[in-house]
Structures are given as structure tokens and as C-alpha cells.
Chains A and B, each alone.
Chain A
Amino acid sequence: MSTQTSNLEGLINQEYKYGFVTDIEADTVPPGLNEDVVRLISAKKEEPAWLLEWRLKALHYWQKMKEPTWANVHYQKIDYQAISYYSAPKQKKDGPKSLDEVEPELLRTYEKLGIPLHEQEKLAGVAVDAIFDSVSVATTFRKKLEEIGVIFCPFSEAVKEYPELVRRWLGTVVPYTDNFFATLNSAVFSDGSFCYIPKGVRCPMELSTYFRINAENTGQFERTLIIAEEGSYVSYLEGCTAPMRDTNQLHAAVVELVTLDNAQIRYATVQNWYPGDKEGKGGIYNFVTKRGKCLGKYSKISWTQVETGSAITWKYPGCILLGDNSIGEFYSVALANNYQQADTGTKMIHIGKNTRSTIISKGISAGHGQNTYRGKVAILKSAEGARNFSQCDSLLIGDKCGAHTFPYLEVKNSTAQVEHEASTSKIGEDQLFYCQQRGLSTDDAISMIINGFCKEVFRELPMEFAVEAQKLLGVSLEGSVG
């Protein structure tokens, strides 16, 4: 604890440290969105006809849709024709066979980000799929995973190598008609991770994806699909950063998870996209659709997220609890500092019998930040004996920020038990006083209290992420404490 608390002062004054730009020649499609662009993306990826058709269906559907305005966030209208929908680092023709073939400049970028691929391979035992702008750059540990039957590869490769699997599951959780941003993603998604855990396999290591937006004026639209077959288990992590720019960039990803009987997926996100500067200029618009489907009985999906970055976050990782006795969990820490806006929460749709869900959400607002929890718990008629517990706490630091809570509880079955609790408060002066009286400085005390506030969520994160998340929180609260 002392190492994290003692250097908070340093962390507070730290600027966004992932804000560098990597100078790499990139293959970027000119801005604009039309059928030709979609065809071009599809052709670049050498995709089969069915996928192109699916993309086009999504595009045509999207063209008829209106951008939603219900979220509690404010931003200038996005010009969808000014965005480039594909940007890839230029590579040698045939793509890298192993890490040694990856462009050294790229690898250095990842080193700067703190994920030395080589090192990680050996030490941490984490398999990383790194995504740079729109394409997947390197996937470590692939061979080793293949031996036990786990498929973990870039999405575009999965389309080529395992087309039946992709075709069977793509869009089953988030259909292309789902919502404005998911539909846009369906039309133009470039790459992402694909992961398949066969029956009865317990994935021996944490799988991880690292996302980075590098090029200017591009949007990143990745698509992740994870399928856990009967009785399997996987823990998956994702992390995100972007360079500092004073224009806003769009990130509209889609994540689909499927669990069959007795399977379990743990999905953790540490999101640290560039949040914009202190005046709220620039930053990433993070409009993401994440959803898991507990298809089989006794299956389980748990989402853990630490949202510290992005100018605007708009994200509701949800679970459709279809299988009897399935479980959905959502643990979240969302931070809104300076002019950041976060509208995040979850959806738990109980359909199967005896389904259970837990929601723990911690929102921290500082500076001019606006933090909104928006969640829906729906117990459908068929969900006999369903159980939900939700707790949403907000912490306010400073008098210019705001915390908002909008839970929706819809109960259509009388055997259900639903509980929702929320609270909003500031750091208690008596708590601070107590710590100071015991010799801690104000900063240490505050840092300690905030970490304690978020502890319920942090302990759901894998070890190395939990440490990073705590540090991130310190960095992101720069200048707001005291």
C-alpha cells in the first residue's frame, strides 16, 4: 500500500504518459463511409463473400439509423464522413510469422506502453494480442495455446482459418441491427481478437489484448468474439491507450461473449484512452457495445472494468442470462475528471430460471467531470427464482462535478428478488481527520480512502491489472485532490 500512496503526489502532477505518437508508415483509407469503403476494407482483409454481405447489410441498416441522444453526455456532432475507417501499419507482404518479424518501431511502442511482449511471454505468462489502429500486430503464445486446442488469434485470421466458427457465432449476441454504434462497427470493423475455448478446457493463462489508436482522424472499430464451450474457462484482459491530440477520435468497438453449459468467462478492461486536456479539448469518444450471452446452464460471465480514460465513455457491458442457473456479474470503477463524461453501467436480462446477477459500480467524479450510472435489470416472466443485487456508489471530489444514477428495474416475475442500493457522498471529513491524526498526509489519506472505495472492484481484477488500475486512478485524479 505504501508504495502506491507515497508517490501519489508525483502521480497527481503527471501528464498523460501514453500520449506519444509512433512514426510508422500507415496504410490509411481516405475519410468517408460508403459501400466502396466497406468493400475496400473487406477486400483488404480478403474476406469471404458472406462476411462482405453481412457488412453491407449493416451499412445499409446504419444509413437509416439516427444517432441516439438519450445518454447524459454532451459533445459536438460527429461527422461520420470525416473519419477514416481503416488504418493499418504498413507491413511486409505476408504478415509476421513470429515476434521477430514485427516492425521494431511497433515493438518499441508497446515497450513504452509497458507491455514488453518478449518479457511478458516469459514472465507473466500472459498471451497478448496487440491491436494497433485497426489491425492486429502480434499475438504471443499462440503456439502454446494451440496445443491444448485454444484458438486465440486476430479476428481477420480467424475469418480465414476458422470461417465456420466465426460464421456460426458472429452477431449472435450483438446483431448488426443492435444500435447505432454497433451497426456502424458491423459495417466497418477492421480487426479484433477471436478466442475459442474448446469443451472442458481451462485456459492455463490470462489472455489479453492491447488496443492503441495511433493515426490521426481515424476511428477504431474492433470486434472481439469469445466462445467458451461446455465446461471451459477463460480469463481475458484488455487495455487501451491513444496518443494526445486536440481533435476527438471515435472508438466504437463491439465485444461478444458466449458461454455454453458450465462455462465461465471473466472479462476485464482497463480503459485509459486519452481523456483530453484539462480544458476538455480532444480525447477519445468511447462508444462501445459489450454483451455476453450465458447460453448454457450454470454458465457465468463476469465483467470487470476500470474506466479512467476517454473524453466520453458510453458503455454498458451486459449479460443475457438465458441458461438456467446462469450468473452474470458486473464490477466497475468509472472515473470522470476535468471535463470527462462517463455514462456507463450494465444490463442484466434474466430469462432462465434461478439466474443470478450482481452489480457493483463505483463512480468517482472530480473537476468538472460528470459521471452517470445507467443500468437495467430486467426479470422476464420465465425467470423463476431470479436474484439480483445492485450497489452503485458515487464519490464526489470538488464542487463542480456531478454524479447521476439512473437504474431501471423491470420485474415481471413475482418469485424474483431484486435489490438496488445507491449512495452519493464526498470523502468523509471524519475519515480524513482520523487518517491525518495517525500521521498520514492529506494526499495519502485521500488516496487510501479512494482505493478502499474501489477495493470491491479491484479485487476482481487479475493481480497485475489491479496494481496498474490503482496507479491509473492516481494519475487520472491529477490536480483534483486536496
Chain B
Amino acid sequence: MLGSAKPSPVPEPARADMESLLLKSVSKQEETYLDQFRQGQKELAGWGHPWLDQVRREAMARFSGLGFPTTHREEWKYTNVAPLARIPFRPAGFVLNGLTQEKLSRFLLSDPGSSCLVFVNGHWCPGFSSLEELPQGVYAGSLADILENNPTRVEEHLARYAAFQEHAFVALNTAFLNDGAFIEISPGLVLDKPIHLLFISTVSDTATVTHPRNLILAGPSTQATIFESYVSLEDGVYMTNAVTEVVVGENAVITHCKLQEESRQAFHIATLQVQQARNSTFASHSISLGGGLVRNEINAVLGGEGIHCELNGLYAVNGSQHVDNHTLVDHAQPHCTSHELYKGILDDKASGVFNGSIVVRQDAQKTDAIQRNKNLLLSKDALINTKPQLDILADDVRCTHGATVGQVDQEAVFYLRSRGIDEEAARRVLIHGFAREIIERIKVEALVTLLEERLSAHLSTYHKTRERV
């Protein structure tokens, strides 16, 4: 359960073992992926590089060993992935399906100087991407490109942080590791515009799966904002299984923002793995509005002294959506602070999970960790399971966590009504205000504008007139 303090090299099980695992018969659901791997591995970018092949094969062996998690596993207790496991997803191809620059524009930041990398069904699409404004010293492009042409550039970092030993989906992603964004920022560089990574799904008739893999290397003393967004052109059944690894160098200040607006029938499983070095600051803002079954995992390893880590999250779901947020802050070194705030709004029959864990290791004295989870339940059938955890092995620390579940404050509604605002509007204002606290924490204006707009559009789909509790 614990992440490792240092980037751990992938352990090397005996080769014979791996072969036998790959050949071993596994259950049908996992078999689909095993077949896909056997047939398609040669087409993955950078095939033939021994270290890459080995990582992929190990990950595949691990996946078939683990199988899809069941609710008997503590980490998946409240999220049942059986429906996902039952569907034989096929790898998604590069299909535009009528996608044009116009259709794309509504997903983009309005800020003229910002750069954007567009991925269609997980494949890099240079035609839609705009990288002209990127300053010298920043590399941003396709990971597949790098793996084909210059794999040694990523060898030191790729797949070294997101551990797949105990995580079937990370293992699956690593096995099919192919394309995604690769961003490298040279030491000392300050980027004043965000870099946008847009993952768009153009759904076809069959259920497809993509395994986007991003690697972000921020050198010492850099400053940057990375914005990842996951959207779909149409409603449809598909799966996104994404992994992003972020390495934050000494004194760097990195903000990562993610907007998840997948189709209502889609499965979205994502892991964000962060490795922070001394005196760095990292902030994550995770906004989940779409998707049918969503699982966001954020693991931050505080591997040096004087680190600050901030995790903010908002999940607003209705209908029959299910969203699961797992966070783990691993205080591996002394004198670090971490602040976490996750807020949830659940309507209709939606269900939510928050599982936040703070680990303070024995040496990590003077740790200051705060974790908060607040939930609004708007309907009788909505459901929330929240599980904040503290795992503390050092004594000179200050750690707190709190979780609340409640409704829209009746007194606040009354106050607004007494000022002439009708009940429906009053409730809307209060719900919106509840959600805004998260968005307000983002410092990039263009991002705030976009998120504010998406949030308003999303909240307006909530039932307007209904008997309220």
C-alpha cells in the first residue's frame, strides 16, 4: 500500500517465471488483454529496446497475475469494476470521426499564448496541436516519438515511479505503454502559460480502450502549469486507462490540473504519480464531472525536506455516475507540509468514494499534514463512502483529517430567500459556491474561466424541480 520513498527500479523476477506467467491460462476477462499483448506488442513504440520490452512484459505478467480487482480487495471495496472487466475492449485506433478544429475549440483554453497537445483516442495528433508558443528549453511532444527515436532520453524515469506490482490497471497501462505526452522542462525555466494535454475520444461503434501514458520531467527551479483534460466527442462506451508520472525537481513549483469530462457511459481509470524533490511545491487540482465509472488515484511521494504538496479535488456527479478518488501522500522526509481538500456533490443515484491516506514515516519529523473531505448529498438515493486515513510512525508531527457529509444548509437557503431569491436559485447559488472553493484555488486565469464554464454547464444538468429533502 505504501509507495516507495525512492524511485525503485522494477524488480526482476526470473525470466522463466515471466514466460510461464504469460503462457499460463488466466480467466477469460484477462485473456482478452493477454491476446492483444501477444499479437500487438511488436507494434508498440520502441519495440526491441531491451529495457522497454522487459518492463512491458513484466507488467503484463503482473496484470495476468493480479487480474481485475474485486471488491474483496480493501482498496477497491467500494468500487466494483466487474462491468468493466466483462466488456472485451479493443485497442482504439486513430479515427477522427469527423473531428475538426472547430469542434475541438470548445475544449481548449481561450488564452492565445497557451500550448496544446492533442491526442485522439490516445494517439498523438500533431495537426491539431499547437506548440509554436513554447519557449526554448521546453520539450513537449509525443512519447511514442521519443520511444521510437531516442528512448534513452526517458529510460531513467519512465515507469520508475508508478508501481504496478499491486495495481492491475497501472500494470495494464504499463504493458500497453505506447503514446502520450512527454514534457521536459530545463532547469530554471519559468513558463507563464499552461501546457494543455487534451485527450479526446471519438467513439466508434465497438467498445475501445486507450492507455495514455504521460511523463512530465520538471527540472530544478522550474515553474509550470500542466492541464490534462479528458473529453469525448460523443456518448459511447469506452475505457480510458491513463497513467501520468510527474517528477518535480528541487525548488520547482509545478501545478497539475485535471478535468475529467468523459462520456456518461465511459470508464475512466487514472493514476497520477508524483515524485517530489527537496524544497519543491506541487499542487494538484482534480475536477471530475463526467464518466460512468471513474477512479482517480493520486500518489505523491515527498522525497526530500521542505516540500509542500497540495491536493485539491472536486467531484460533482449525478444520474448513475460513480466516482472514486484515492489519494496517498507519503511523507518520507522531515519538514514537509501537505494540504488536501476534496469536495463532493452527489445527486440522483450517483455514488462517490473518497479514500485519502496520509503516511508519515519514522524519520519524517516536523510533518504538518491536513486533509479535509466535504460532501453534499442532494438526493435520497445518492451515496458517499469516505475513508480518510492517517498512518503515522513519527512523533513530532501535526496531522489532522476531517470528513463531513451533509446537505445544503437550510438556514443559508432561508437567508437568501428572505432577500427575495427563490428557493431553487438559492440552492443553486449555495451548491455553486460550495464547488467554487476548489476552482478558486487555481491561480491560472484561463484555466479558472474554462473550469468555471464547464462546472456551470454541468451543474445546470442537475434536476431543477424536485421534492427536496
A→B interface (CB under 8 Å): 70, 379, 381, 394, 396-426
Contact = CB atoms under 8 A, between A and B. Distances in A.
B121 to A, nearest CB: 37
29 contacts: A394-B390, A396-B397, A399-B362, A399-B394, A401-B395, A402-B392, A404-B392, A405-B401, A406-B389, A407-B387, A407-B389, A409-B384, A409-B385, A409-B386, A409-B387, A411-B377, A411-B384, A411-B386, A414-B377, A416-B405, A417-B405, A419-B402, A420-B401, A423-B400, A424-B397, A424-B398, A424-B399, A425-B397, A426-B397
A260 to B, nearest CB: 30
A133 B383 CA distance: 47
Nearest to B354: A409
B400 A421 contact: yes
Contact of A420 (B365, B385, B403): B403
B141 to A, nearest CB: 43
A477 to B, nearest CB: 14
B402 A418 contact: no
Q: Which residue among A404, A415, A422 has the maximum number of chain B CB atoms within 10 Å of its CB?
A: A422
A451 B406 CA distance: 33
A400 B394 CA distance: 7
Which 3 pairs across A and B sit closest by C-beta, in order of nearness?
A414-B377, A396-B395, A405-B390
A440 to B, nearest CB: 22
Given A406-B389, A407-B388, A409-B386, A418 B404 contact: yes
A453 B390 CA distance: 19
Q: Which residue among B378, B395, B396, B403 has the maximum number of chain A CB atoms within 10 Å of its CB?
A: B395
Contacts of A379: 405
B380 interface: yes
Contacts of B406: 416-418
Contacts of B389: 404-407
B16 interface: no
Contacts of A421: 400-402
A329 to B, nearest CB: 20
Contacts of A425: 397-399
Contacts of A70: 74
B216 to A, nearest CB: 32
Contacts of B396: 396, 399, 426
Interface in B397-421: 397-407
A426 to B, nearest CB: 5
Contacts of B393: 401-402
Nearest to A421: B402
A394 B375 CA distance: 25
Given A411-B375, A421-B400, A425-B397, 19 more contacts: A399-B396, A405-B390, A406-B389, A409-B384, A409-B385, A409-B387, A409-B405, A410-B384, A413-B377, A417-B404, A418-B404, A420-B388, A420-B404, A421-B402, A422-B401, A422-B402, A423-B400, A423-B401, A425-B399
Q: Which residue among B383, B386, B392, B400 has the maximum number of chain A CB atoms within 10 Å of its CB?
A: B392
Given A405-B390, A414-B469, A422 B405 contact: no
Contacts of B397: 396, 424-426
Contacts of B384: 409-411
Contacts of B379: 414
Contacts of B383: 410-412
B17 interface: no
Contacts of A424: 390, 392, 397-400
B71 to A, nearest CB: 13
A422 B394 contact: no
Contact of B407 (A381, A409, A415, A419): A415
Interface of B: 74, 362, 365, 375, 377-380, 382-407, 469
B392 A420 contact: no
A424 B351 CA distance: 30
A417 B376 CA distance: 10
A451 B398 CA distance: 20
Contacts of A415: 407, 469
A386 B406 CA distance: 10
B387 A413 contact: no
Nearest to A393: B400
A406 B355 CA distance: 10
A406 B387 contact: yes
B406 to A, nearest CB: 5
Nearest to B357: A406
A363 B115 CA distance: 51
B395 A426 contact: yes
A345 to B, nearest CB: 12
A138 B320 CA distance: 60
A412 B381 CA distance: 7
A423 B399 contact: yes
Contact of B405 (A399, A404, A406, A411): A411
A410 B385 CA distance: 4
B378 A414 contact: yes
Nearest to B403: A420
Given A70-B74, A407-B403, A414-B407, A422 B378 contact: no
A420 B402 CA distance: 5
A228 B161 CA distance: 57
Contacts of A423: 398-401
A462 to B, nearest CB: 32
Contacts of B403: 407, 409, 418-420
Contacts of B388: 405, 407, 420, 422
A336 B376 CA distance: 37
A396 to B, nearest CB: 4
B392 A396 contact: yes
B159 to A, nearest CB: 30
Contacts of A420: 386, 388, 401-404
A409 B77 CA distance: 13
Contacts of B385: 408-411
Q: Which residue among A70, A402, A405, A425 has the maximum number of chain B CB atoms within 10 Å of its CB?
A: A405
Given A421-B402, A422-B390, A422-B400, A399 B365 contact: yes
Contacts of A409: 384-387, 403, 405
A13 B117 CA distance: 68
Nearest to B367: A424
A252 to B, nearest CB: 24
B158 to A, nearest CB: 34
A402 B387 CA distance: 19
Contacts of A403: 390, 392
A70 B401 CA distance: 22
Contacts of B377: 411, 413-414, 416
Contacts of A394: 390, 392
B169 to A, nearest CB: 23
Contacts of B401: 405, 420-423
Contacts of A411: 375, 377, 383-386, 405
Nearest to A420: B403
A426 B395 CA distance: 6
A336 to B, nearest CB: 13
Nearest to A402: B393
Contact of A414 (B365, B382, B395, B402): B382
Nearest to A400: B362
B316 to A, nearest CB: 15
Nearest to A384: B469
B2 to A, nearest CB: 12
A416 B395 CA distance: 35
